[in-house]
Amino acid sequence: MSKPFDVEIDNSIAHIRFNRPEKRNSMNEDFWNLFPKEVEELDDSGEIRALIVSSTGPHFSSGIDLNMFNNDVVEDESENEPGRKAGYFKQQVLYLQNVANCLEAARFPVIAAIQGGCIGGGIDLVTATDIRLCTKDAFFIIEEINVGLVADIGTLQRLPKIIPAGIAREWALMGEKVPADRAKEVGLVSSVYDDQEEMLKNAFEIAEKLASKTPLAMWGTKEILNHSRDHSVKEGLDYVALWNAATLHKEDVMMTMMSKMQKTNPEYKNLRDKNFLKHKSKKK
């Protein structure tokens, strides 16, 4: 199983770069299997403070590799019993949704750096990131409606919470190309750059700023933003009160204040890794 992406780590900043430009970085079976595992491993370590997801070639991603439909990866024809067949298909869709869900669940912020086409599954992925940048030649298409499908990996759930809901409906129902300037106008991306080199330079500058902040507060801020998006204001306020009551770290606050006064760079502890069984075994 070959990785359809490269991974680089520089200090606390990780960079995942899709590496199938000859296939327009379509999401093949290896991608759906390996990408969530890679993100989860980065998160599990507790050492990563920011992640950049970018691509190679003229396009960010053309979405799901259609060969998956021909290889019985997405549908099981071996069962004639409709209930089991439908249940199996549902399980497959939920599994594929991990490609986007893993980015949202990660304890660090994720930056998407988009060039050229961001189509179908590409939009599913980038709408689960925290900050989206693109080049002026970028364009976005919710392609599923054009091939007789209902987008089911996250676009229909997340996009209306990022841009005005009416515009999200128009894009999803029409399936037309949306250029970079329109994407910025409605808030899908925050900045548009002349070329990929300039975009990546700025993506790393943003990542460095994010990585300089306390990872505990960064994790909490992302968690509260995600929770508040899906709940009422009252529920969001109750949740953040509970979160801070449980996790507010005075040492981080004091270190931040002292560093500002002394004009130095604070050095925060990493988050703990998630392998609690490893820590439990050490105590024996």
Given the structure tokens 């129902």, which residue do they identify?
173
* pLDDT band per the 50, 70, 90 thresholds, residue 158: very high
Do 192 and 235 lie in one domain? The reply is no
- Say which of 116, 117, 121, 122 is annotated catalytic: 121
Do 172 and 250 belong to one domain? no
Of the two residues 7 and 89, the one the predictor is more confident about is: 7
Domain span including residue 74: 5-211
| Mean pLDDT taken over the chain | 93
Q: Are residue 87 and residue 63 in the same domain, yes or no?
A: yes
Catalytic residue among 44, 76, 152, 185: 152
Annotation marks residue 144 as catalytic: yes
Task: Answer with the one of 211, 230, 261 that is the final residue of a domain.
Answer: 211
The answer to whether residues 163 and 238 belong to one domain is no
Q: Are residues 153 and 16 in the same domain?
A: yes
Task: Name the pLDDT band for 252 (thresholds 50, 70, 90).
Answer: confident
- For the residues of the chain, what is the DSSP string, one character each? ---SEEEEEETTEEEEEE--GGGTT-B-HHHHHHHHHHHHHHHHHS---EEEEE--SS-SB--B-THHHHTTSS---S---HHHHHHHHHHHHHHHTHHHHHHHHSSS-EEEEE-SEEETHHHHHHTTSSEEEEETT-EEE-GGGGGT----SSHHHHHHHHS-HHHHHHHHHH---EEHHHHHHHTS-SEEESSHHHHHHHHHHHHHHHHTS-HHHHHHHHHHHHHHHTS-HHHHHHHHHHHHHHH--HHHHHHHHHHHHHT----PPPPPPS-HHHHHHHT-
pLDDT class for 96, splitting at 50, 70, 90? very high
* pLDDT tens-digit series, residues 104-126: 999 999 999 999 999 999 999 99
Amino acid identity of residue 30, one-letter, is: D
pLDDT classification of 59: cutoffs 50, 70, 90: very high
In the chain, the number of structural domains is: 2
Q: What is the pLDDT of residue 185?
A: 98
What is the end-to-end Cα distance of the chain in Å, rounded?
37
pLDDT digits over 124-144, tens only?
A: 999 999 999 999 999 999 999
- What CATH code is carried by the domain that includes residue 258? 1.10.12.10
124 has catalytic annotation:
yes
64 shares its domain with 204: yes
Q: Residue 77: its pLDDT value, please? A: 55
83 is catalytic: no
Check 124, 130, 143, 252 and give the catalytic one: 124
Which residue out of 13, 16, 52, 64 is catalytically annotated? 64
One domain, residues 24 and 101: yes
Measured between alpha carbons, how far is residue 4 from residues 19, 55, 88, 95, 202 in Å? 6, 10, 26, 18, 24
The answer on 132 and 273 residing in a single domain is no
Catalytic residue from among 63, 144, 220, 252: 144
Q: What whole-number percentage of the chain has pLDDT above 70?
A: 93
More confident position, 252 or 105? 105
Q: Are residues 69 and 201 in the same domain?
A: yes
